[in-house]
Structure 1
Amino acid sequence: MKSIKAIIGDKVNVFRGKEEYMLEEFSNFIEENDPDIIVCPECDSFTFPYLVNRAKFIGLNFNIGREDYDNIEARKPYWAKGRISLDNIILGNDFNEFGVCGLVERSRFSLLPPTIAGRWTANRLNDSRVCFELMNRGYVIPEKRGNLEHVRKMSNLVERDKGAIILPPKIGLHENVAELDFESQFPNIIVKYGISYETVGLDGIEFREDAILPHVTKSVLERRLYFKRLRKNFPKESIEYRYCEQRQSSLKMILVTLYGTSGCCWNRFGNVLAFEEINRRSRELMVKSKNFVQEKGFEIVYADCDSLFIKREKSSREDYEALAKEVSSITGMPVALDHHYKFLALLPLKSDPSMEAQKHYYGITFDGEIVARGIEVRRHDTPKFVKEFQTKLIKTLFDYNSVEEVETLGYNRALKAIEDTIRELANDRIRLDDLTVYKILRKPLQEYESRLPYVSAAKQMEAKGLYIRPGNVIKYVYTDSDHHNPLCRIRPIQQNEKFNFDKTKYADMILETAKTILSIFGFNKQYYKLKFDTRWFK
């Protein structure tokens, strides 16, 4: 053990020296600052057991909890008894993504201690809450989980076993587009129509005032919408906005799971007919909305489950907001203008440009906000440098007032931005940190059969004596992506390291992200790849 790093707020403390000194200083640090929550890598499976056992080996009385223990066994699984201890990676997500505020919402909803609420999946949190509500009503909780399927005719199955409606996007660049969004459509359907595990059968819905799923869903839905609207009162960079975002994100995940597992075999009370009924109601709402907006003279360029992307020449924001109110009135569901796009690009499949790609688009609103779905800038494993380039490319492309200007002036400026960016790579002007790829190890290293780049990086780290476990964030840089040995194609990045990176590989990443943005304008990646390889990398 070389060092122990502890962070409280903006203050970073690093303890170095002899092992006994580091452990003692760290223990004193915890006692002096007395934190309620401790977050660290693999707290239960590695960090805490390792520290405690090392302290025992050297004869040190080491305790980071608020209560003393007579022996090590008494500590398990509460290594820091009296405090909340959690992994920094929870169910594949960084703790900071939902933070303390999100943890509070998970605990509040499930009626579980934060230590448990932070470890359990959303489905288990839902199960905890539903069981609590039913026990309060005097019901006995079944041990068996989920009704897998009902015996019924094939014609009934074909009719009902469908998802929500998606209208394929009209590939290309669109101007003055409105995104009308059914706010929390599926939870609202559950509440409005009383859809629950016990109310839906083969003969239809038996409405009950005390139906359990609408009762649980309604409280979460109202609380989520409260924080979602409250955050609009604060600047995006403010701590208040972040707290609201953490809360509404955690509540959103709970709502998504309440709907998504309503017919799942892993749900103790799951009824597949309830899930199918929610989707049927959703399809009805979308068809009614589609017909209404088209009768009003609006063109639908894309529709995805609970959102309609529409446009009409010379329509203003006020026109779209008025339309949203009308759609809300005829459907009886809350509908809002989510985004008003100055320009919106709907993308094709990369593997087949003649086919539409669902949930793949980017655009800029009249307020200057970049909105993107399904492209590199949204991926967690895209290097920072590539994300920043793609964002810059979108802004450069859309810095004009008409489709014609975007397709000519904007496109030419975008090509110039590509050349400038690749020149930065060629001249070594990019920091290694900005080229680093981050991937989370999802399973034990020995279970990976393919030598994926992050697996190769993890194996190199393990060979150096580092402890590699599922949940670890693997950081690496491409150094020779064409090498015949996968272990030589990348290099795990350590603090303050400097080494040469594979310029050709990162130039290819830049061209690939440019292709995502510019393919609808006829961008030819292979032409520019050959051009840049010849000029700078050969």
Structure 2
Amino acid sequence: MENTRCIMGITEAVLDFAMQLSSLVSLPLDHVGTAAVGFRVEWFLIKHTQKIGELVPKRVEQPYRPYAGAIVLRPKPGLHENIAVLDFKAMYPNIMITYNISPDTYVSPKEPIPPCGVYEAPEVKHRFRKEPSGIYRKVLSYLIKVRDEIRSKMKKVAPESVQYRVLDARQKAVKVITNASYGYAGWIGARWYIKPVAEAATAWGRHTILNTIKMAEKEGLKVVYGDTDSIFIKHEPEKIEKLSKEIEQKLGLEVKPDKIYVRIFFTEAKKRYAGLLPNGKLDIVGLEVIRGDWANIARKVQEKVLEIILKEQSPQKAVKFVQQFIYELGQRRVPYRDLIIWKTLTKPIEEYAVRTSHVEAAKMLKEKGWRLTVGDKVGYVIVTGTGRLYERVKPYMLASYDEVDLEYYVKKQVVPAAARILGTFGISEEQLLAHKVEGKGARKLTDFFET
């Protein structure tokens, strides 16, 4: 019964969207979920070209040629108060529309400038005709117009109605294809691929973000981070409103605050941060708590550490929490299920050339008669013993708590996950492991593990 409820829950969550996406790109429902994003976009383009009288080019095999991507600024590590995320509305699609970036509008260096004139991309100097509109401008303009129309209709119906639900799924499907079009333009497998299109789009994107940062700083707004199509700035509503108008006037792009963080924490790495939203919820990006290659204890510890840091601003309290958690783990009071590490089989077991933990666990299950296929998740734990890590794994259902290597979970899961956050405040892994015992001085917490 529980499995049935899970399946129904998943169906209710994704079916409307999947059906609308299937209808939009003309791929069967059972294909659209597994199709690569590029193929979804391509099928929509093929469908739309018939409406606008364009021919579909043959797919030509292209060698991979790297190019500079979107700009991601290095964050200022630590805590920041009252931060707004200024987000560009469909930045890359709008850039491609504004500058008519398309394979059929590209003017090579050997060609003369046409009478209509050209747009020249910053840095890379690729040129594109101003007229007539290229395939990407036509398609993206259509998609943006359609989404705006759908959202207008949504305002006229009750949010709890079936019609609203269907319209919402439809606009989300349109948004996905619109935003994926920029990535498609840089995919070497695309029928409409030429490298200058991808290079020019990212060059204009970098130019836009850097100019926005200059405008923000000129306005007196502190910029703490920037990522692809958004910047994180001090939340000062009047200045932000003025900045938004200036950006729209000078760059021709719409920008507005997407999120407001009461407090936000950055590590030293890009694309890894956590923020406290006004409703008290945590918004976590790129850290272990949302990655699938860690045991649940790492996620739980890191999330709690982030909560303490963001809500109470007390690194020392977070340290005490971690030390107490390690002690509880040593006494085997942490649920066994939280020690399981889950990894997905991406190919048949026999095709793995390198020995890895989840593959070794899968082999054990296969020997016991389990049938495993590509896409299955394998759950395993690390047990005590000698040798490499993959030699010390067991499928979780074949192991017991007494066999688990608790020291591994402390030193390779709990402490690194906590130290990723607390290291910013000068707290080392050694400090997390240290524990002062009355009359005996400092000792390691692992000394108190049950054996």
Same fold (TM over 0.5): yes
Whether 2:92 is the aligned partner of 1:169: answer: no
Change (3 A) 1:250 1:434: farther
Query: SS where residue 449 of structure 2 aligns?
Result: helix
Aligned to 2:372: 468
Deviation at 1:295, TM superposition (A): 0.8
- Structure-to-structure mapping, 1:264-413, within 5 angstroms: 264-311=187-234, 316-317=236-237, 319-321=239-241, 323-348=243-268, 357-400=269-312, 406=313, 410-413=314-317
Aligned to 2:99: 193
CA distance in 1, matches of 2:168, 2:356: 34
Gaps of 5+ in 2: 110-126, 435-443
Q: Give the partner amino acid of 2:445.
A: F
Deviation at 1:133, TM superposition (A): 2.3
Deviation at 1:275, TM superposition (A): 1.1
- Structure-to-structure mapping, 1:14-29, within 5 angstroms: none
Residue 490 of structure 1, aligned match among 393, 398, 403: 393
Aligned to 2:56: 141
Q: Give the partner amino acid of 1:344.
A: I
**What is the total number of aligned residue pairs between the two structures?**
419
Aligned to 1:181: 87
Q: Deviations over 1:293-313 (max 9, x none)?
A: 1111122222222111223xx
Aligned to 1:502: 405
Aligned to 2:16: 101
Q: Deviations over 1:4-38 (max 9, x none)?
A: x99544689xxxxxxxxxxxxxxxxxxxxxxxxxx
Change (3 A) 1:195 1:537: farther
Deviation at 1:519, TM superposition (A): 0.8
Residue 454 of structure 1, aligned match among 358, 363, 381: 358
- Structure-to-structure mapping, 1:187-266, within 5 angstroms: 187-202=93-108, 204-208=127-131, 210-221=133-144, 253-266=176-189
- Identity rate, percent: 26
Gaps of 5+ in 1: 13-38, 40-94, 151-156, 349-356, 401-405
Query: SS where residue 385 of structure 1 aligns?
Result: helix
Higher relative contact order (Cα pairs below 8 Å, separated by 6+ residues) = 2
Deviation at 1:187, TM superposition (A): 1.6
CA distance in 2, matches of 1:467, 1:412: 48
Contact map agreement 1:147 1:271 (CA 8 A) in 2? no
Deviation at 1:208, TM superposition (A): 4.3
CA distance in 1, matches of 2:432, 2:450: 13
Query: SS where residue 483 of structure 1 aligns?
Result: coil
CA distance in 1, matches of 2:414, 2:405: 13
- Structure-to-structure mapping, 1:34-113, within 5 angstroms: 99-113=14-28
Deviation at 1:381, TM superposition (A): 2.8
Contact map agreement 2:86 2:256 (CA 8 A) in 1? yes
Q: Deviations over 1:256-278 (max 9, x none)?
A: 53212314320112121111121
Change (3 A) 1:377 1:218: farther
Aligned to 2:119: none
Q: Give the partner amino acid of 1:472.
A: D
Query: SS where residue 297 of structure 1 aligns?
Result: coil
Q: Under a length normalisation based on structure 1, what TM-score does the superposition of the two structures give?
A: 0.68
CA distance in 1, matches of 2:330, 2:167: 42
CA distance in 2, matches of 1:149, 1:331: 32
Query: SS where residue 534 of structure 1 aligns?
Result: helix
Query: SS where residue 377 of structure 1 aligns?
Result: helix
Deviation at 1:221, TM superposition (A): 4.4
Whether 2:342 is the aligned partner of 1:438: answer: yes
Contact map agreement 1:196 1:214 (CA 8 A) in 2? yes
Change (3 A) 1:164 1:179: same
Aligned to 1:403: none
Query: SS where residue 278 of structure 1 aligns?
Result: helix
Q: Under a length normalisation based on structure 2, what TM-score does the superposition of the two structures give?
A: 0.80
Whether 2:438 is the aligned partner of 1:532: answer: no
Deviation at 1:122, TM superposition (A): 1.7
CA distance in 2, matches of 1:395, 1:377: 12
Query: SS where residue 337 of structure 1 aligns?
Result: strand
Q: Deviations over 1:317-347 (max 9, x none)?
A: 5554554444344322121212222322221
Residue 34 of structure 2, aligned match among 105, 110, 119: 119
Q: Give the partner amino acid of 1:206.
A: R
Q: Give the partner amino acid of 2:107.
A: G
